[in-house]
Structure 1
């Protein structure tokens, strides 16, 4: 699954998707997809609510 497909899938599930704190939507999806393709130093984290259900996906740049 490509980054674009993966991001689109998460959005279609109604999950909030953020990259470095910026909320992703259909308008900026292409731009964010390019960023993730060009820079592979992002870590994906699934965020759960109190019931243990995933409600968001955060991508954070890993810094040394």
Structure 2
């Protein structure tokens, strides 16, 4: 019947919305992971002493 067809259409639409939200959620999770890793690297860098960073910079400079 007409009613069943409408229900089926709505059901299919909701399934598509659900799939879209799941893929978005996966993307957000991946981005959060990248953000956490970047934050960790920044923390690690800032906790190193000034002299350690200074000598690292000196090592990276081209020797003349």
Quick check: which has more Rg, 1 or 2?
Answer: 2
Question: What's the TM-score, normalizing by structure 1?
Answer: 0.22
Q: Which has the higher helix share?
A: 2
Q: Which has the higher strand share?
A: 1
Q: Using CA pairs below 8 Å that are at least 6 residues apart, which structure has the higher relative contact order? A: 1
